[in-house]
């Protein structure tokens, strides 16, 4: 691991030390690494050609809004390649919350999330995305579907940016 020295004025250092304390870091080095990772990941996610991501899209909507529930389901089905899972919660008599786990090209995930959050009746939408590397490997393991015949297949493996 390489080391480097950073000079900070007293005010910025006090604010950083307060941040470290609030977040529960053991030392400044861990905090600096996480802050740098976050800045670099945000920069990568802002780039239109930034590769793959895994994301959590959460939003609250009024299910009484005309055809909104149907439009949201249709949008998810139209983007089934991005949507891995959706959790639906009833908050009260009118409002629901949905949380969708998405994975795919960052630009496609962002466009889908923006379209969902732009629907009339959707409120409080947020997308939290993390850049990942997706590697498809030929896995030579088999699954027995109960018919006595093993079925080989490959799995995509998701790797987040390594913590250093």
The annotation places the binding site for Ni(2+) at 77, 88, 90, 96
Q: For residues 120 and 40, what is the distance between their CA atoms, to the nearest angstrom?
A: 33
Number of helices (H) and strands (E), helices first, in the chain? Answer: 4, 7
Annotated binding site: 77, 88, 90, 96
Angle at CA of residue 77, ends 71 and 78, nearest 5°: 85
115: how many CB neighbours lie within 10 A of its CB? Answer: 14
Distances (CA, A) of 143 to 70, 84, 136: 36, 21, 18
């Amino acid at each position: 691991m390489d080391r480097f020295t950073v000079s900070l004025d007293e005010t910025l250092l006090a604010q950083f030390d307060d941040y470290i304390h609030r977040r529960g870091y053991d030392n400044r080095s861990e905090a600096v690494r996480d802050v740098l990772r976050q800045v670099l990941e945000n920069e990568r996610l802002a780039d239109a050609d930034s590769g793959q991501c895994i994301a959590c899209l959460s939003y609250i909507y009024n299910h009484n809004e005309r055809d909104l529930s149907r439009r949201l389901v249709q949008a998810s089905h139209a983007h089934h390649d991005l949507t891995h899972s959706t959790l639906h919660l009833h908050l009260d008599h009118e409002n629901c919350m949905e949380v969708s786990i998405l994975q795919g090209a960052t630009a496609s995930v962002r466009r889908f999330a923006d379209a969902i959050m732009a629907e009339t009746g959707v409120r409080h939408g947020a997308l939290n995305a993390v850049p990942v590397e997706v590697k498809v490997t030929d896995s030579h393991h088999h699954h027995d579907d109960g018919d006595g015949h093993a079925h080989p297949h490959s799995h995509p493996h998701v790797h987040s940016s390594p913590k250093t």
